[in-house]
Amino acid sequence: MWNGFVLAEVYPYVGLAYLTGREVDQVLRDEQITKVEVAEAVSSALAQFGLSLPDEDGALLVRLRRDGARPGAMDLGACVCVLQDGRLGLTTGDGRVIETAGDELAYVAHPEPGRYSQVLKVPGVYYGEVV
């Protein structure tokens, strides 16, 4: 499946926009609400195309690593970013990321350098590279 389709299916989960990841972290500290995890949106998007992935961040990360996910990049859309605390983000292809922000997902316009410990391509998603 093309990475643009993944993003198109994930964007409806996004309800907030922030300049920095620190702002998202503050929302998570301040709010006592159920988290919508990035994995939930990614899993739902892929399910429409017959691909099955876990809908919890921790389980998705384990699956990606187990399946040998290749390194991705911030300038590719629909790569999974791993935050220092284990939460996941999803790249939008322009250096920006979608992250968990309480009961919805947030668009982070300017993630801080070093915010993500790893960026991974999702197996089964086409990123436009020639093989």
Q: 3-120 has which CATH code?
A: 3.90.1720
- Which pLDDT band, with edges at 50, 70 and 90, does 119 fall under? very high
CA distances from 7 to 32, 88, 131 (A): 28, 15, 22
b/e for 27-62, b at 16 or more Cβ within 10 A? bbeeeeeebbbbbbbbbebbeeeebebbbebeebbe
Question: What residues does each domain of the chain span?
Answer: 3-120
Q: What is the pLDDT of residues 48-86, one digit of tens each?
A: 888 899 999 999 999 999 998 999 999 999 999 999 888
**How large is the average pLDDT for residues 45-50?**
88
**How large is the average pLDDT for residues 79-105?**
92
Q: What is the pLDDT of residue 76?
A: 94
Q: How far is the C-alpha of 46 from the C-alpha of 94, rounded, in Å? A: 21
- Which pLDDT band, with edges at 50, 70 and 90, does 129 fall under? low
Residue 120 has pLDDT above 90, yes or no: yes
Q: What is the pLDDT of residues 25-42, one digit of tens each?
A: 988 888 777 678 999 999
Q: How far is the C-alpha of 115 from the C-alpha of 127, rounded, in Å? A: 23
